[in-house]
Amino acid sequence: MVEKSSVKPASSRAAKGGPGKKVLVIGAGIVGVSTAIWLQRDGHDVTIVDKAGPGEATSHGNGGILASCAIVPVTGPGLLHKAPLMLFDPGQPLYLKWRYLPRLAPWLVKYLSHANAKDTKRIAASMYNIIGDSLADHQALATGTAGERYLRATDYLYLYDRRRAFEQDAFGWEIRRRHGFTWRELEGDALAEAFPGLTAPDALAISMPDHGLITDPGAYVKALARHFKEQGGAILRGTADKIAVADGRLKGVRIDGKVQPFDVAVVATGAWSQPLMAELGLKVPLETERGYHLELWNPSWTPAAPFMLASGKFVVSPMEGRIRCAGIVEFGGLEAPPSEAPFRLLESKFRKAFPGVRWERTERWMGHRPATTDSLPVIGEVETAKGVYAGFGHQHVGLTGGPKTGYLLAQLISGKKPNMDLAPYSPSRFR
Ligand SMILES: Cc1cc2nc3c(=O)[nH]c(=O)nc-3n(C[C@H](O)[C@H](O)[C@H](O)COP(=O)(O)OP(=O)(O)OC[C@H]3O[C@@H](n4cnc5c(N)ncnc54)[C@H](O)[C@@H]3O)c2cc1C
């Protein structure tokens, strides 16, 4: 079992009135807001700037799962063979806007180079240190704030339509087992009780304890941002388009055309982080893995716990007033409008598995997962620009790993030594 290194409980937090740097956090998704709160608790004078407002981008529409077990990257062994077949099968949850392929190609080549057993195990070990204790990390962040009401401890299930499909995922499950995850198999009556009306007679569910659910991720991030403001933090609406650096050190950040001075800036702009990093001489290979959700409002059945519908590789989460089906990977860049096919796939797979479920109305959403080629987030100070820190690139698990990332960044900025090795996440790995 690997040592976990989770955030400290409230009682051991540094008191206000600490080192007191003037910090700007750029981006108010889960990563930026978590970072701002932990910095504020360390006694810094913190401002957040976001072009759209807190929790309006990817952190709004995700599956809501605190998926500690999701340490195994998409680039598992065998992806090289599977991906081309998936792209040509409209029933598979992988899409590509072909016009985008020339722009995607350099990123894709590097990304696929990690689709081997050795890299998968290495990436999983590094992800474990960021997301392995996510429920406790969220509790430490949100307890006592207005965000607490959206945080729920829960089991997390993987629903396979047959045992053979579970066995085909054995490599990933063995990695999880080695990192201390345990599970129970549900079949027959136990399965029927968890999923009444499920059509697949040979289905198998894998149920893992000690996970978490955010019952409305957008509202959660907004509530955390309100807490930050109530504690004296400032939130600006604006676009940060230049980080001013002189003699290798941060001087200020240009927001809507005006440079404002800061001691420290944190880039937590998710899938939009590449241009700000490029200005600092770092060419981070970052892509958007576009993802989709379909919300089924006032459904006739609500699952007791969130689950991954393995045949569609999307999650089904019970949220306030609705079920949210969220997943799909589509490559197509930040600008293209949503496609129709992913919504159709989410609905048809859900209807096939649960034909008896009715709902009143459907809502659709598409968002941008920030994905690096090595599937690891970028966390740490930028070597070429002292005072500038990166906190982005959490791909499919940014909600899960946001609070831990924020805690680590606050430690670094406060001059404390994190009790784990941050080298795997270093921005310098892309120099
Ligand atoms: C369909 C789907 C399902 C998912 N399910 C899960 C799940 O169940 N569990 C999980 O852990 N993760 C999940 N994820 C992933 C997760 O949502 C992301 O990893 C996470 O939200 C990223 O958070 P972030 O704070 O880095 O980015 P974002 O939430 O995208 O925030 C970035 C912010 O930066 C702002 N910004 C960008 N550029 C600028 C600029 N120049 N100036 C000012 N502001 C700027 C944006 O407006 C935005 O608010 C899912 C993602 C998708 C798409």
With the most atoms of ligand 1 within 8 angstroms of its CB, the residue from 216, 236, 272 to mutate is 272
- The region that residue 43 occupies, defined by phi over 0 for left and psi between -120 and 50 for alpha, beta otherwise, is left
Model pLDDT, residue 431: 80
For residues 221-245, average pLDDT: 98
Q: Does residue 223 surpass a pLDDT of 70?
A: yes
DSSP letter, residue 386: B
DSSP reduced 3-state for 37: helix
pTM of the model: 0.95
- Can you give the residue ranges of every domain in the chain? 10-430
Task: Encode pLDDT of 40-81 as tens digits.
Answer: 999 999 999 999 999 999 999 999 999 999 999 999 998 888
394's CB contacts (< 8 A; 6+ apart) are 31, 130, 369, 370, 377, 400, 401, 402, 405
A 10 A CB-CB count for 32 gives 32
Query: Which ligand 1 atom is nearest residue 394's CA?
Result: 19
Q: Does residue 9 surpass a pLDDT of 50?
A: no
Closest CA to 397 of 131, 136, 164: 131
**Range of weakest confidence among 54-63, 84-93, 172-181:** 84-93
Model pLDDT, residue 13: 42
What whole-number distance in Å separates Cα of residue 366 and Cα of residue 355?
25
Pocket of ligand 1 (CB under 6 A): 26-32, 49-52, 56-59, 62-65, 67, 239-241, 268-272, 291-293, 315, 326-327, 367, 369-370, 392, 394, 396-400
Model pLDDT, residue 19: 54
Model pLDDT, residue 85: 80
Please tell me the distance between residue 313's alpha carbon and the centre of ligand 1 in angstroms: 19
Q: Does residue 91 surpass a pLDDT of 90?
A: no
Query: Which ligand 1 atom is nearest residue 273's CA?
Result: 38
Between 3.40.50.300, 3.50.50.60, 3.40.30.10, 3.40.50.1860, what CATH number should domain 10-430 receive? Answer: 3.50.50.60
Query: Residue for token digits 């030594």?
Result: 417
Please tell me the distance between residue 281's alpha carbon and the centre of ligand 1 in angstroms: 24
Q: Does residue 16 surpass a pLDDT of 80?
A: no
The DSSP secondary structure of 73-138, one letter per residue, reads -S--TTHHHHHHHHHT-TTSSEEE-GGGHHHHHHHHHHHHTT-SHHHHHHHHHHHHHHHTTHHHHH
Model pLDDT, residue 57: 98
Query: Which ligand 1 atom is nearest residue 365's CA?
Result: 1
What whole-number distance in Å separates Cα of residue 297 and Cα of residue 311?
23
Please tell me the distance between residue 358's alpha carbon and the centre of ligand 1 in angstroms: 30
Based on DSSP, count helices (H) and strands (E) in the chain, helices before strands. Answer: 13, 19
Please tell me the distance between residue 1's alpha carbon and the centre of ligand 1 in angstroms: 30
Q: Does residue 14 surpass a pLDDT of 50?
A: no
Model pLDDT, residue 200: 83
Q: Does residue 423 surpass a pLDDT of 80?
A: yes
Model pLDDT, residue 180: 98
195's CB contacts (< 8 A; 6+ apart) are 159, 203, 205, 303, 354
Model pLDDT, residue 1: 35
Q: In terms of residues, how long is the chain?
A: 431
With the most atoms of ligand 1 within 8 angstroms of its CB, the residue from 396, 405, 425 to mutate is 396
Interior angle at CA 39, CA 38 and CA 40, nearest 5: 90
For residues 142-163, average pLDDT: 97
Task: Encode pLDDT of 284-340 as tens digits.
Answer: 999 999 999 999 999 999 999 999 999 999 999 999 999 999 999 999 999 999 999
- When computed from its CA atoms, the radius of gyration of the chain, rounded to whole angstroms, is 21
Chain mean pLDDT for the chain: 94
* pLDDT > 90 fraction of the chain, expressed in percent and rounded: 89
For residues 10-14, average pLDDT: 41
With the most atoms of ligand 1 within 8 angstroms of its CB, the residue from 399, 405, 409, 425 to mutate is 399
Please tell me the distance between residue 399's alpha carbon and the centre of ligand 1 in angstroms: 8
174's CB contacts (< 8 A; 6+ apart) are none
Q: Which helix (H) or strand (E) holds 322?
A: strand 322-331
Interior/surface letters 263-283, b for 16+ CB within 10 angstroms, e for the rest: bbbbbbbbbbbbebbeebebe
Model pLDDT, residue 235: 98
For residues 363-378, average pLDDT: 98
What whole-number distance in Å separates Cα of residue 74 and Cα of residue 112?
10
